[in-house]
Amino acid sequence: GPQDPDPLTGVRRKRLPLMMMMMRQGGSRSKLLTLLGRNTLVRGFSTREITRAYPQFSVHGEEALLAIKMIAPTFRVVRGESLVVDQARRGRLLLELSPRDSSGSGFRWSDQIRFALSVEEVGLICSKLPQQHDVEIIRQPFLGEDRDIEQQYGSGEPVTNQTPDKVLRVTPGDAGSVAISLDFEKDGVGGQSLSDDTPASGPLSVVVQAGEFEVILAIMKDSLPALAGWTQLMNVSIQNAVTQSTTPSTSFDFARRGSVPF
């Protein structure tokens, strides 16, 4: 490598590699790797700002593809300064089942069935499984909040009082496996079409193996606070509390304002 002259003797000395220099200075290999990793991240993302991310977990079944995606909650500002969750657009965990095509290597995306789980429905699945409990959730798309959900995350077909119910079933199987199925039903009869001009899409089902379902459960449990908006609002609240505590003019004076409200 290149050599630099010693400032006192004028003798050129060989420049040491970065790792050897750190080791001589008492550094460790892990510190070096951490430093290199940080530099790599900085170089990789310094040219543009990442504004969107799409968390997703997929399971390839024999007859269909299961995809799990997050729909982040929407927030709004009230009274010009307070951030709250928009209750009309709370966070959801979106399940998508897409049937395989005739070749078996692709998917018929136009026949995809989607089901947007609310925070409470995600909690229900987590509480019932993996114990031997079936979970059935019926979405009546022409009633109340379910109508808004279906129009936003459904099939795209017009929602009327003749639209069949969308039914999600999560059924434990052998060796820790779980079957996740979606279907359209009318008066308890499955395999219904959304309209006279649309062929029936369901039922669609994917058998999730034990290891895969363990990952799904972890995703569901970890997503609950974020879907409810708790994580985001808590971080903002804590940051505001830290800012107020470190600003003399706005710090909390317990002697003046009373005791801590326990």
Closest CA to 164 of 137, 199, 195, 121: 195
- pLDDT on residue 248: 73
Domains of the chain: which residue ranges? 3-39, 56-230
CATH number for the region 56-230 comes to: 2.30.31.10
pLDDT per residue, tens digit, the chain (262 aa), is: 455 555 444 545 554 444 444 445 455 544 544 444 444 444 455 557 888 889 999 999 999 999 999 999 999 999 888 899 998 889 999 999 999 999 988 999 988 999 999 999 999 999 998 777 899 999 887 666 666 666 666 655 666 667 888 999 999 999 999 999 999 998 888 888 776 666 767 799 999 999 999 999 999 999 999 999 999 999 999 998 898 888 776 555 544 454 544 4
Burial 209-241 (b: 16+ CB within 10 A, else e): eeebbeebeebbeebbebbbbeebbeeeeeeee
